[in-house]
Structure formats: C-alpha cells, structure tokens
C-alpha cells in the first residue's frame, strides 16, 4: 500500500508550509490558541518538609490540590537539575538523529514495551496529531532497559537514572496521597500490585498552522499518577473551563477516581503546538501492574453519601480500552461505571 509514506511526523513536515489535511481538526474542535493564558493558579507544593515534623501540612496541601485541581507543580522534589538536564539533552539528540536511525525503534503496536511512534494510535484514529513520541516501559528497569535505544550512546544510562529518581518521587507522592485520603501510608502502594512505570518522550515539531491541529487532543491519562517534565516551550493546557499553561516545572497529575471513589478527579488536558519552536515533554506514568485489581478503597465507600461508582476491573482491561478507544474529551472510565 503506502510503501513510500514516511511514518514519522518529524520527517514528513520538515519543510511544509501548511498542515496536511489529515491533521486538520473540524472547526468545532480546534485549540483556540488565543485563550491560552499563563497561569499561576495551579498550586505549587513544596516537598521540602514532606518528611519531617510538618508532614501533615504538606499532605494536606497535596490533598487539596488533588481534590480541587487534580494537578499541581512540585518544588524541592529531589530530582536534581543534572539528572533532568541529561535526560532533556539525550531526548533532543534522539529526535535529531537521522530518520533511518530513529526508525529502528518504530512500531505502531501500543502493546509493545519500547517503541517510537507518531500521533496517538495510528491504527485507530481518524485525525492525526502533531507529535512523535518514544514510549518506554521502565519498571522493573532490568526487564526493559535492554530494549531501549543505544543511540545516543548515553541514552540508556541517562534515562535510567531519571527513571530511578522519578520512581522515588512517585512513591513519596503516593504515600502522601494515601494519607490525604485518610488511608494507611502504603495503601496505594499495595493497591498497585507489583507496580509499573512507563514514560513517553513527546516531540512536537514546529507547526506552520498550530490553530488547526493538536499536539495531543484532550484526554485524561490512564495511570495512577503522572510526573510531567517539560522544556521551556509552553504547550500544555488544562482543558476544563479555562485553558491555562502550566509553568515548566516537573508537575504531577493524579488519577485516583476509582480508588478514591470519585473524591479525586483526573484532569482533562491537552497539548497545543506552535509555529516557532520544537517542544519536548516527558511524562512519567506511574501505574498499577497489569494484573492489579482496580477498586474503590472500602473505607471510602458508604452507601448513603458515597455509594460505589465504578465496578472492579483489572488495570490491563482499562489500559487496553484506553489505547483502543482513542483520545477523547470524555475519559473511558465512564465505561466502567456501575
């Protein structure tokens, strides 16, 4: 069939002066770039005193952010600038490699544990998104690191170091989130089964007509908690009510609707592109292992005020649905309501 078609956006668009038709969204579904405002109302949580006598204050701040925003920025998060810079550098280098080199990692099968792809799911979607991405499974590291790219030469080492650091951060946050729900400290930790950690390195090339397309359309991430690292090119929007840009700090986003029985809501968000600069964003998706059973904490169900909202399901059931259904303004969690 389309044997001559290049699968990667980066190579397809390097010289175009307009957006190819398959990227153009219908008029009712375009990004409204002029509504994007720089936002300082996203809470910033300082983790410096998370371990110490003031822990309960920090836990409370995290709980408030989860309940009211589902989204917060973290500072004093314990991931050093050096580790972050190395990952950013090696990511940029990867996407600047010649196409033939990058294509060694290409696959459009969402179940592959290491793969370079484009848009979201090219097997099922009708409209393409302005993004290439490298997706890696990264926990347990020793199960996956041998699949990762070896070019640039320090890719595995630099990425693995970042993964170890963000895992530590994710575990600290999950303990705090458990406590903020009045659950035992390691409640969520246990609920995630054997745990898993995925990561995407998103590459958004400059786009000649950013008002016609998305980098990623509105969606809620499927995992438990996302730690998002961005470079200094803005592009993330929360797509509820007001559209806002989040400052370029590692931020987190939490998805605990089921476990918290809807007390904590996951935020819909999307990425827009721009005509001037390439943008890199690196979300870490901390998740349950595929066999983990997702259910509301019994302590958070009461038949009158908080009746059970979702049926129980395994994470792999949900994850499958996420990739098949495609990105959508409604989360596919609705399909699991009782």
CA dist 334 and 313 (Å) reads: 13
Report the run of H or E that residue 72 belongs to, with start and end: strand 71-75
Q: Which is nearer to Ni ion, 240 or 301 (CB)?
A: 240
**Closer residue to ligand OGA in complex, CB, 2/241:** 241
Q: Which is nearer to ligand OGA, 167 or 269 (CB)?
A: 269
Q: Which residues contact residue 57 at a Cβ distance below 8 angstroms, ignoring those fewer than 6 apart?
A: 49
From the list 269, 284, 296, 331, which residue makes contact with ligand OGA (rule: CB under 6 A)? 269
Q: Using CB atoms, what's the residue nearest to ligand OGA?
A: 281
Asked if residues 240 and 254 have their Cβ atoms less than 8 Å apart, the reply is no
Measured distance CA(181)–CA(68) in Å, rounded: 14
Q: Which stretch binds Ni ion (CB under 5 A): 21-29, 108-116, 125-133, 219-227?
A: 219-227
Rounded CA-CA distance 48/39 in Å is: 23
Residue 287 interaction partner, one of Ni ion, ligand OGA, none, beta carbon < 5-8 Å per kind: none
SS3 sequence of 212-270: HCCCEEEECCCCCEEEEEECCCCCEEECCCCCEECCCCCEEEECCCCCCCCCCCCCCEE
Q: Kindly state the tokens that stand for 49.
A: 């005193």
- DSSP collapsed to 3 states, 112-169: CCEEEEECCCCCCCCCCCCCEEEEEEEECHHHHHHHCCCCCCCHHHHHHHHHHHHHHH
| Among positions 119, 159, 165, 281, the unique one binding ligand OGA when judged by CB under 6 A | 281
Interhelix angle 155-180/55-68, nearest 10 degrees: 90
Longest alpha-carbon distance in the chain:
65
Binding to ligand OGA (CB under 6 A): which residues in 80-99? none
The distance of closest approach from Cβ of residue 303 to Ni ion in the complex, given in angstroms and rounded to an integer, is 34
Residue number with CB closer to ligand OGA (105 or 248): 248
> Which residues, numbered 66-95, are part of the site for Ni ion (CB under 5 A)?
none
Phi then psi dihedrals of residue 177, to 5 deg: -65, -40
Residue 257 interface partner, choices Ni ion, ligand OGA, none, CB cut-off 5-8 Å depending on type? none
Applying CB under 6 A, does 221 fall inside the site for ligand OGA? yes
DSSP 291: T
Give the residue, chosen from 110, 149, 210, 235, that forms a contact with ligand OGA under the rule CB under 6 A: 235
Using CB under 6 A as the binding rule, whether residue 205 contacts ligand OGA is answered as no
**229 near Ni ion (CB under 5 A):** no
105 vs 281 by CB, closer to ligand OGA:
281
The closest alpha carbon to 116, from 100, 103, 97, 129, belongs to 103
Residue with nearest beta carbon to Ni ion? 221
In angstroms, give the least distance from the CB of 246 to Ni ion. Answer: 12
Min separation Cβ 216 and ligand OGA, Å: 5
Least distance from ligand OGA to the Cβ atom of residue 15, Å? 24
Smallest gap, in angstroms, from Cβ of residue 195 to ligand OGA? 19
Q: Is 221 in the site for Ni ion (CB under 5 A)?
A: yes
Q: How far is the CB of 43 from ligand OGA (least distance, A)?
A: 18
Min dist CB 198 to Ni ion, Å, is 12
Report how far apart the first and last C-alpha atoms of the chain are (Å, whole number). 44
271 binds ligand OGA (CB under 6 A): yes
Which residue in this structure is represented by tokens 């054997």?
Answer: 194
CB contact at 8 A, 43 and 138: no
Q: Which residues bind ligand OGA (CB under 6 A)?
A: 200, 202, 216, 221, 235-236, 269, 271, 281, 283
Q: Which residues bind Ni ion (CB under 5 A)?
A: 221
């Amino acid at each position: 069939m389309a044997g001559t078609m290049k699968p990667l956006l980066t190579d397809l668009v390097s010289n175009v002066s307009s957006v190819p038709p398959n990227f153009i969204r219908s008029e009712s579904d375009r990004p409204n770039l002029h509504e994007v405002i720089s936002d300082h109302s996203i809470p910033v949580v300082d983790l410096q005193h998370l371990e110490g006598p003031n822990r309960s204050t920090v836990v409370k701040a995290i709980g408030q952010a989860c309940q009211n925003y589902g989204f917060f920025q973290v500072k004093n998060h314990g991931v050093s600038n050096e580790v972050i810079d190395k990952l950013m550098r090696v990511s940029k280098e990867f996407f600047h490699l010649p196409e033939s080199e990058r294509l060694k990692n290409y696959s459009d099968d969402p179940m592959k544990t290491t793969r370079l792809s484009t848009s979201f799911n090219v097997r099922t979607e009708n409209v393409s998104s302005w993004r290439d991405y490298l997706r890696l499974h990264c926990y347990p590291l020793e199960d996956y690191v041998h699949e990762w790219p070896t070019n640039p030469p320090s890719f595995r080492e630099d990425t693995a170091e970042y993964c170890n650091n963000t895992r530590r951060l994710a575990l600290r946050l999950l303990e705090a989130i458990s406590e903020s729900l009045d659950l035992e400290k390691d409640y969520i930790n246990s609920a995630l089964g054997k745990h898993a950690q995925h990561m995407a390195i998103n590459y958004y090339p400059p786009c000649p007509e950013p008002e016609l397309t998305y980098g990623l359309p509105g969606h809620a991430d499927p995992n438990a908690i996302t730690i998002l690292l961005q470079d200094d090119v803005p592009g993330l929007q929360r797509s509820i009510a007001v559209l806002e840009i989040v400052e370029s700090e590692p931020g987190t986003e939490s998805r605990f609707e089921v476990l918290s029985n809807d007390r904590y809501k996951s935020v819909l968000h999307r990425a827009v592109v721009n005509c001037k600069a390439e943008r890199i964003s690196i979300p870490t998706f901390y998740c349950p292992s595929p066999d983990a059973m997702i259910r509301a904490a019994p302590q958070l169900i009461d038949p009158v005020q908080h009746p059970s909202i979702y049926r129980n399901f395994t994470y792999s059931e949900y994850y499958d649905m996420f990739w098949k259904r495609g990105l959508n303004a409604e989360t596919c969690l609705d399909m699991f309501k009782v």
